[in-house]
């Protein structure tokens, strides 16, 4: 459903990632993990792009999306937005969603690809769902980790959520960094998710990452296609 909204709040998440909270004029239900179409004026013309909804349906009163700010005109227009500015949303869309019957899930993500997974984890914790979730989240450096505090608080709060961070920059100080290093690969999945054969996989991130991890799951770990769900952030 398309609706006009106003920006309620802009939140700087990392050095190049911002969340935009929009005030709904009507109540539209969505499922954690879904996305929406966002339309705004860019150089006097309307432009639209798709964004996962980064808040959970349990966090009521706003719809939030979280964008990596790039050099594009769309990004620059978003970056200038402040509380009170208008924006058009069209939601809900997509089937990248978690079901309680999944029982055991493994989330694989990189960078900005965390947005729908953050929504799903928050929802699962708030609703006390009987789903056990392991998240393997890759970034270049610590300062690139989006929603770090939220994610760590969720895993501290719930025995059903475990989060493993991995950093792939060659400059990581291994004496200080307590998480893993390197890209997510079959070996890392085997070590961190020993019961991987029992889990439903959710992969989200830039298309190249999603395709590579999908192939790893199928070829190296022999996961059946019907146990893998993907969301590609085409555009990166
Ligand atoms: C289902 C779905 C969900 C998504 N969810 C999210 C989400 O939650 N968060 C998110 O951030 N994205 C999400 N995306 C991707 C999003 O829709 C955009 O494609 C993405 O944000 C890139 O848009 P952009 O305007 O920054 O860059 P684009 O204009 O699409 O350009 C792509 C790249 O080119 C570069 N570029 C463009 N113009 C210039 C210029 N003039 N000079 C130099 N470089 C330039 C940009 O830096 C960018 O890296 C999602 C996509 C889909 C399909």
Same domain, 46 and 142: no
Same domain, 75 and 163: no
Tell me 134's DSSP state.
E
Pocket lining: 74 vs ligand 1, CB cutoff 6 Å:
yes
Nearest to 202 by CA among 114, 108, 110: 108
Same domain, 111 and 167: yes
Same domain, 19 and 56: yes
Instruction: Compute the distance between CA of residue 151 and CA of residue 124 in angstroms, rounded to an integer.
Output: 12
Mean pLDDT of 54-68: 97
pLDDT digits (tens, 9 = 90+) for 117-163: 999 999 999 999 999 999 999 999 999 999 999 999 999 999 999 99
| CATH number for the domain that contains residue 205 | 3.40.50.80
Nearest to 207 by CA among 182, 231, 183, 184: 231
| CATH number for the domain that contains residue 46 | 2.40.30.10
Nearest to 204 by CA among 135, 144, 126: 135
- Say what the pLDDT of residue 236 is: 78
Pocket lining: 70 vs ligand 1, CB cutoff 6 Å:
yes
Same domain, 119 and 222: yes
* CA quadruple 34, 39, 22, 67: dihedral sign: positive
pLDDT digits (tens, 9 = 90+) for 4-50: 999 999 999 999 999 999 998 888 999 999 999 999 999 999 999 99
- Residue 105's domain spans which residues? 100-232
Same domain, 167 and 194: yes
Task: Please give the sequence-ordered ranges of beta strands (E in DSSP) within 55-122, or none if there are none.
Answer: 63-68, 86-93, 104-110
Pocket lining: 131 vs ligand 1, CB cutoff 6 Å:
no
Q: Count the neighbouring beta carbons within 10 Å of the beta carbon of residue 36.
A: 22
SS3 231: strand
SS3 string, 203-228, reads EEECHHHHHHHHHHHHHHCCCCHHHE
Instruction: Compute the distance between CA of residue 219 and CA of residue 226 in angstroms, rounded to an integer.
Output: 14
Pocket lining: 230 vs ligand 1, CB cutoff 6 Å:
no
Nearest to 131 by CA among 151, 154, 161: 161
Same domain, 218 and 149: yes
Specify the pTM.
0.95
Q: Which of 39, 72, 76, 113 to mutate to test the pocket of ligand 1 (most atoms within 8 A of CB)?
A: 72
Average pLDDT value over all residues in the chain? 96
Nearest 5°: CA angle at 88, between 85 and 91?
135
β pairing state of 86-93 and 2-14 = antiparallel
Q: How many domains does the chain have?
A: 2
Q: Which atom of ligand 1 is nearest to the CA of 116?
A: 8
Same domain, 79 and 13: yes
Decide which of 61, 76, 93 is a domain's last residue: 93
Mean pLDDT of 43-65: 97
Same domain, 76 and 143: no
Instruction: Compute the distance between CA of residue 118 and CA of residue 130 in angstroms, rounded to an integer.
Output: 17
Same domain, 84 and 129: no
């Amino acid at each position: 459903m398309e609706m006009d909204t106003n920006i309620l709040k802009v939140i700087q998440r990392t050095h190049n990632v911002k969340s935009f909270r929009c005030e709904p004029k009507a109540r539209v239900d969505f499922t954690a993990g879904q996305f929406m179409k966002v339309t705004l004026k860019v150089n006097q013309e309307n432009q639209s792009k798709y964004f996962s909804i980064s808040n959970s349906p349990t966090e009521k009163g706003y719809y939030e999306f979280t964008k990596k700010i790039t050099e594009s005109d769309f990004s620059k227009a978003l970056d200038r937005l402040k509380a009170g500015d208008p924006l058009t949303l069209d939601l809900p869309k997509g089937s990248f969603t978690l079901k309680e019957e999944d029982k055991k899930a493994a989330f694989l993500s990189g960078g900005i690809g965390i947005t729908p997974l953050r929504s799903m984890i928050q929802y699962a914790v708030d609703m006390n769902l009987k789903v056990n979730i392991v998240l393997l989240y890759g970034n270049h450096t610590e300062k690139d980790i989006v929603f770090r505090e939220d994610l760590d608080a969720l895993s501290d709060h719930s025995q059903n959520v475990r989060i493993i961070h991995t950093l792939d920059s060659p400059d990581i100080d291994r004496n200080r960094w307590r998480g893993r290093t390197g890209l997510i690969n079959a070996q890392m999945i085997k070590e961190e998710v020993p019961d991987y054969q029992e889990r439903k996989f959710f992969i989200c991130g830039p298309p190249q990452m999603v395709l590579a991890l999908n192939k790893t799951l199928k070829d190296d770990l022999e996961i059946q296609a019907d146990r893998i769900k993907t969301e590609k952030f085409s555009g990166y």
